A and B are shown apart, each in its own frame.
Chain A
């Protein structure tokens, strides 16, 4: 089954990192529960149009951080992620998105006060 992830060619982060972060998010959010089988590095590479060198690197990093585990000849599976780690990671994911927004605002030369004002508006609108 293809994973609902996509690599954004125009972002500065390397592709393996983008894959890593999105798979992490899917695991942390519970979309991919423990023991779910992940696509092979070859299948994922073909879905995303990148090379197996990149997908292998993403999987190796995820394995090192204990999100997934590969069993030779069987495939790659999602590992159990603890509650504490999960909430920490959620916070990190939200922070990352906010950081991206702040960067855009700074590019347009907004001050901190102006950014806070904009955030308050968005918070109200999204209530």
Chain B
């Protein structure tokens, strides 16, 4: 079952950038991290998914077009900037939702407001950047929706806020096993702790979602017992260093098969953390494009 499907999403942004075409399916009950270097188009993509404005292609949430009322009611969107809420007091926005939004869950909002220690009667523009984000998160997470689109939700949050948000997102997923979260991030740790799938963005296009744990198995550092000729050309090899060599592979299975065929003894293997493997993946995309 899919929570979100994007079909041929295209947005032309002036002369020098265009988004898409993007085709993407997000499974129910999963958390997907969208990663990409600055300028890759993540924010434009989140805007397109959330139905910010019309364009080519079609996005559906649980089968409802994202521009329809049912579609909009099925998703929560926390953008990176939110100029439209800045002039208001949080209490005012809460009242607006409570009176006009069928998805509103006031018990949740009160809990988040307490947890985040949010001032209800100050203008949001007067709050610190982190507090502003917490305010918008509290508003959107208080809506009972099955899809959360979060554009860098942890940016600007203090450490306590980061831990709180992580817990909130996980308990939301526990309460609604068919819900989904799609979030953009630059932080490998957040991917490690939250994501099931990783989507790489580059030049306005998305790649197929990758299972995080499969990715983790493919990137390895391997210590060999002795030198072996031609190891630089073995499948998956990214780096060869030192004598006896220590090698870095992005396709551990193929590399180990190659080594086994040559009877090379392996002293130690170590999986790469996402801190190391994600930058390699992002760099890859760049070289592939040229």
Hey, which bits of chain A sit against chain B, CB under 8 A? 9-10, 12, 14-15, 40, 42-43, 45-46, 49-54, 107
| Bound-state Cα–Cα, A2 to B170, Å | 14
Given the interface pairs A50-B212, A50-B213, A52-B29, the reply to whether A9 lies near B197 with Cβ below 8 Å is no
| Bound-state Cα–Cα, A40 to B173, Å | 10
**Interface residues in B194-214 (C-beta closer than 8 Å to A):** 194-197, 211-213
B213 touches A51 (CB 8 A): yes
**Cβ distance A79 to chain B, nearest Cβ, rounded Å:** 22
Hey, which bits of chain B sit against chain A, CB under 8 A? 29-31, 166, 170, 173-174, 177, 192-197, 211-213, 216-217, 265, 268-271
Task: Specify the chain B residue showing the minimal Cβ separation from A12.
Answer: B269
Given the interface pairs A42-B170, A46-B193, the reply to whether A10 lies near B30 with Cβ below 8 Å is no
| Bound-state Cα–Cα, A51 to B33, Å | 12
Chain B residues whose CB sits within 8 angstroms of the CB of A53 once the complex forms = 196, 211, 213
A45 touches B217 (CB 8 A): no
Chain B residues whose CB sits within 8 angstroms of the CB of A49 once the complex forms = 192-193
Task: Specify the chain A residue showing the minimal Cβ separation from B268.
Answer: A10
| Bound-state Cα–Cα, A119 to B226, Å | 29
Chain A residues whose CB sits within 8 angstroms of the CB of B217 once the complex forms = 14
| Bound-state Cα–Cα, A50 to B215, Å | 11
Chain A residues whose CB sits within 8 angstroms of the CB of B173 once the complex forms = 42
Given the interface pairs A42-B170, A42-B174, A43-B174, the reply to whether A51 lies near B268 with Cβ below 8 Å is no
Chain A residues whose CB sits within 8 angstroms of the CB of B192 once the complex forms = 49
A51 touches B212 (CB 8 A): yes
A51 touches B211 (CB 8 A): yes
Given the interface pairs A49-B193, A51-B213, A53-B211, the reply to whether A9 lies near B270 with Cβ below 8 Å is yes
| Bound-state Cα–Cα, A51 to B209, Å | 13
A51 touches B174 (CB 8 A): no
Chain B residues whose CB sits within 8 angstroms of the CB of A51 once the complex forms = 195-197, 211-213
| Bound-state Cα–Cα, A50 to B195, Å | 8
| Bound-state Cα–Cα, A16 to B283, Å | 30
A54 touches B268 (CB 8 A): no
A54 touches B213 (CB 8 A): yes
